[in-house]
Amino acid sequence: MSLRRHRRPGRRRPRHGWPAAVVLALGAAAGGAGCAPDPPPGTAAVPVAVTAAAVASDPSGAGASGTTGHILTEARGFVFRARNAACLSVGTAFAVTDGSASVVTNRHVAAGATHLDLSTWDGRDFTSQVAGHANAEDLAVLLASPPGPGSAPLAAADPLAGTPVYVAGYPLGNQLTVTSGRVLGTVAGAQVGLGGPVMEISNPIQHGNSGSPVLDPSGNVVGVVFALDTATGDGLAMPVSQLRALLSGAALDPAPLACAPVSP
């Protein structure tokens, strides 16, 4: 697994280091080379018709309930652009159905901030409080009141290799998009500086996709994107079993972290 590290000049390294083989998918600072600037608050991601036209049909043949268009329609209700004003970066967050008002993102998306500014795909802005993060996984929990009632249910178990999956997020901090792919297998967490195993998926991943939900054809959350393997071009995601453990509250750490390293 080939890795390279992304750091922001002038920021000290966070206490949770990342091996050089993994590129964090977090959006870079506004104005950074090759990355889109953070849109101003209140900016709609893209008109409905444009978003729908840009989504390709699902090559897996999973049916109407498991196509990128269907997933996109559902994702508009619970997937948000996340702005970390303290670290001048952007990512993705999403609301989950777990009996509480939880919003989930990556630890490195929330690092360095007490709150994240969130916005819906059509430009409605709201604020979230960083409740805490996992210490062994790249996951964080936010407390927020999204403007809509949408949320995503958690899958009962981690997906098997070959399962069709969809990633819904804001690559490069731009419009909400959905990409399709499959679960390729698992990678030992130690290879990427994490505690438990992580999923490898074939979906295209870009900066800004960090914190994006990985969804099965029924729209259940089966994982959370956190990085890209530069050797293969495949995405890396925390499996839903680890997210379930974090949402139980047992492993939630409220201690603040330094800003995560990202592209300059």
Read off the tokens for 8.
Answer: 């922001």
What's the whole-model pTM score?
A: 0.82
Query: What string of DSSP letters covers the chain?
Result: --------TT-PPPSS---TTEEE--B--TT-TTSPPPPPTT--S--HHHHHHHPPPPTT---GGGSHHHHHHHHTTTEEEEEETTTTEEEEEEEEESSS-EEEE-HHHHTT-SEEEEE-TTS-EEEEEEEEE-SSSS-EEEEE--SS---EEBPSSPPPTT-EEEEEE-GGG-S-EEEEEEEEEEE-GGGGT-SS-EEEE-S---TT-TTPEEE-TTS-EEEEEEEEETTT--EEEEEHHHHHHHHTTTT-B----PPPP---
Token couple for 55: 């989504």
Mark out the alpha helices in 61-106 (DSSP H runs): 68-75
What CA–CA distance (Å, rounded) separates 203 from 211?
14
Residue with tokens 């996709």: 209
Query: What does the pLDDT read at residue 99?
Result: 62
Domain 22-247 has CATH 2.40.10.120: yes
The per-residue pLDDT for 6 is 30
What pLDDT, on the 0 to 100 scale, is given for residue 23?
A: 66
Quote the pLDDT of residue 39.
Answer: 57
pLDDT along the chain (264 residues), means of 10: 35 40 55 44 47 37 63 94 94 86 92 96 94 93 90 94 96 92 92 89 93 96 94 92 86 87 53
Angle at 70 between CA 119 and CA 218, to 5 degrees: 100
User: What residue ranges do the domains of the chain occupy?
Assistant: 22-247
